[in-house]
């Protein structure tokens, strides 16, 4: 009993020492990262109040007495959203960009996900090519793709759609491939033993099993793409982002908060719609 207790205490001390050593290494890495990134406590303390000051500036000057008055009355909601018609149209354009880019990107990612899944045995060449292509597409940020495509296709929504679609294909393709790799191969073996081709086994054995997960990832990506479509408008790729860039450049503070609020509401609406659609599809699949 004494030997067992001593061995237990020794093992416990070794575990504590290993934990402390790991925490020390982690702290050293964090300090080194902060030093390389020029993160200084003094800079943070000086900048945090300025962030609060900026948010204070963009808040609207609403007044209860005129809250529901017309566009001409300062302090009213109508005065705050005096360009709601044009902003709504730009937001609709942004949502359309995000939806089309998600559809194109998820479709391309799905096609590349099957050869990129190790367990389906597409061959080493196909596996490596599809994996490296997906990595290349998701490594380059959307805004970099947008800068290149704006130069190629000109200012407008087309460059934004293609830029987001390329990045979406890389991100969704990786998630789709991992979902396929976590799928059982019983149905796959059945289709193959019955004489089905590799493509037929992918379509009829694997796709029905992973469809709910793929839809969930695609809908999540749609939310991300709405935010991305708002950002890449800064480089002339169309949508509400271009308008947001203009009002930020000219320091139209109340307009900044109005546009940001519209984008947040759009993301919330898409999230609620996506959740209902996802549960409905999962119920049908089951």
Rounded to whole angstroms, the Cα distance separating 109 from 215 reads: 12
Give CA 87 to chain center in angstroms: 23
Backbone angles phi, psi at 238, to 5 degrees: 85, 175
Would you state the pLDDT for residue 166? 94
- Report the candidate in 265, 249, 245 with the shortest Cα–Cα distance to residue 84: 265
Would you state the pLDDT for residue 150? 84
Neighbour tally for 277: CB within 10 Å: 13
Span 51-80, pLDDT tens digits: 888 888 888 888 888 888 887 788 888 888
The domains located in the chain, with CATH, are 2-58 (no CATH), 83-285 (1.10.3720.10)
Would you state the pLDDT for residue 31? 87
Rounded to whole angstroms, the Cα distance separating 191 from 47 reads: 62
Say if residue 285's pLDDT is above 70. no
Q: pTM, whole model, 2 decimals?
A: 0.78
The angle at the Cα of 21, spanning 15 to 22, to the nearest 5 degrees, equals: 90
Span 141-160, pLDDT tens digits: 888 888 888 888 887 788 88
Say if residue 131's pLDDT is above 90. yes
Would you state the pLDDT for residue 114? 94
What would you measure as the largest C-alpha separation in the chain, in angstroms?
Answer: 87
What's the rounded mean pLDDT across residues 92-103? Answer: 90
Would you state the pLDDT for residue 271? 79
Rounded to whole angstroms, the Cα distance separating 72 from 70 reads: 5
């Amino acid at each position: 009993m004494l030997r067992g207790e001593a061995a237990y205490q020794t093992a416990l001390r070794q575990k504590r020492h290993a934990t402390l050593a790991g925490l020390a290494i982690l702290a050293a890495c964090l300090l080194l990262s902060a030093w390389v990134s020029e993160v200084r406590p003094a800079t943070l303390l000086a900048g945090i109040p300025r962030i609060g000051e900026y948010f204070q500036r963009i808040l609207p000057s609403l007044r209860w007495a005129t809250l529901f008055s017309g566009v001409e009355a300062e302090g009213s909601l109508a005065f705050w959203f005096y360009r709601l018609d044009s902003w709504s149209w730009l937001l609709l354009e942004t949502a359309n960009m995000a939806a089309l880019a998600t559809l194109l990107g998820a479709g391309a990612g799905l096609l590349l996900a099957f050869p990129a899944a190790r367990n389906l045995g597409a061959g080493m060449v196909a596996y490596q090519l599809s994996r490296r292509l997906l990595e290349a597409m998701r490594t380059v940020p959307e805004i970099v793709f947008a800068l290149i495509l704006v130069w190629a296709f000109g200012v407008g929504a087309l460059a934004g759609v293609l830029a987001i679609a390329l990045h979406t294909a890389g991100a969704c393709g990786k998630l789709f491939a991992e979902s396929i790799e976590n799928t059982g191969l019983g149905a796959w073996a059945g289709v193959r033993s019955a004489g089905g081709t590799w493509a037929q086994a992918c379509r009829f054995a694997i796709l029905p099993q992973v469809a709910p997960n793929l839809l969930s990832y695609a809908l999540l990506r749609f939310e991300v793409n709405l935010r991305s479509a708002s950002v890449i408008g800064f480089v002339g790729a169309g949508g509400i982002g271009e308008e947001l860039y203009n009002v930020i450049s000219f320091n139209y503070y109340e307009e900044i908060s109005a546009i940001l609020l519209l984008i947040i509401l759009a993301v919330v609406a898409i999230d609620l719609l996506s959740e209902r659609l996802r549960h409905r599809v999962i119920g049908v699949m089951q």
